[in-house]
Structure formats: structure tokens, C-alpha cells
């Protein structure tokens, strides 16, 4: 199941993140793709806010993984730098963990992504406008069906 939505500005991105935050469950795998500056980290920050995370969420580009303890923990990964240098197997502990795992540039570790996952590809239309292509595999399919925008 696939769906495309248009986000006109940051406020709409925040609203969209709020909608997604209501669908999360332990072990949720959220895969993000999209050009540099598309808004993967920005979306994750908004998501964290609606999950109740008070800490500042920063881009994990240089650390690969940042962990935010919470009722539903957030494991925020940016695997941009892992491209072509193989997989760090410690990450799989978090991909198959008890929190929400958000993976920026997930295609770089596609061999470690579960068959069932929630995929979001963000494309830049102009400075503030984005297109989001959503795909729900397996148990995530019903979430895509539910989302109306």
C-alpha cells in the first residue's frame, strides 16, 4: 500500500508528525529517504516532541545512533556514512528493539531492514514544500490506509 501527500510548510510537517506519533508501537521501524535537507531530521524532531521526548533531538549524522529514553524510546539513526562500508551489527539490536527506530538513509543498510517496515521518502518541491511518498509493508499497511491528507 502506497500513498503520496503534499506538505506545504513546516507547520504541516509538524501536524503530519503528530498524526504518525499516534500510530507508533514498540518495535516500530520507520525508514526515511530523501535528499540532503529534505526534512528527515526535522520530521524526527517533531515526532519526538509528540512522543513526549523533552531532550533536544539533533542529527545523528556523526554518531550514527542516538538513543532517547522515553515511555516509547526513540532510536534515531543516520546511516549516511555507512554507505558501502558494510553494516555495523550492533545497530540491529535497535532495529529489532523495543522502541521506535527511525533510520535516515535506510537504503544504505537495506540488507538489515526488516521485511515489514514503514517507509517515507521525502522530496523537495521548493523551499518549504515537500512531497512525502509513504509505503507500509506488512502490518504497517493499515496505517497508510488510515492516514488521510
Ligand X SMILES: Nc1ncnc2c1ncn2[C@@H]1O[C@H](COP(=O)(O)OP(=O)(O)OP(=O)(O)O)[C@@H](O)[C@H]1O
Per CB under 6 A, 24 contacts ligand X: no
Rounded Cα–Cα distance for residues 54 and 3 (Å): 31
Q: Which of 69, 91, 89, 71 is nearest to 21 (CA)?
A: 71
Strand arrangement, sheet containing 65-68? 2-7, 130-136, 118-124, 29-34, 100-104, 74-78, 65-68
Residue appearing with cell numbers 551489527: 89
Per CB under 6 A, 120 contacts ligand X: no
Q: In this chain, which residue has its C-beta nearest to ligand X?
A: 39
Per CB under 6 A, 76 contacts ligand X: no
> Can you tell me which of 28, 31, 79, 130 binds ligand X, judged by CB under 6 A?
130
Smallest separation, CB 80 to ligand X (Å): 6
Per CB under 6 A, 41 contacts ligand X: yes
Residues at the contact surface with ligand X, assessed by CB under 6 A: 7, 9-10, 13, 34, 36-42, 59, 61, 78, 104, 128, 130
Amino acid at each position: 500500500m502506497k500513498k503520496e501527500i503534499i506538505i506545504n510548510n513546516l507547520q504541516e510537517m509538524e501536524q503530519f508528525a503528530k498524526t504518525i506519533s499516534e500510530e507508533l508501537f514498540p518495535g516500530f521501524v520507520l525508514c526515511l529517504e530523501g535528499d540532503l535537507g529534505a526534512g528527515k531530521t526535522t520530521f524526527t524532531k517533531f515526532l519526538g516532541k509528540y512522543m513526549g521526548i523533552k531532550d533536544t533531538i539533533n542529527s545523528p549524522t556523526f554518531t550514527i545512533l542516538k538513543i532517547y529514553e522515553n515511555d516509547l524510546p526513540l532510536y534515531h539513526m543516520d546511516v549516511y556514512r555507512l554507505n558501502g562500508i558494510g553494516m555495523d551489527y550492533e545497530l540491529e539490536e535497535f532495529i529489532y528493539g523495543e522502541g521506535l527506530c527511525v533510520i535516515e538513509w535506510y537504503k544504505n543498510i537495506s540488507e538489515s531492514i526488516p521485511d515489514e517496515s514503514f517507509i517515507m521518502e521525502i522530496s523537495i518541491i521548493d523551499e518549504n514544500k515537500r512531497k512525502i511518498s509513504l509505503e507500509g509493508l506488512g502490518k504497517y499497511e493499515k496505517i497508510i490506509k488510515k492516514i488521510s491528507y
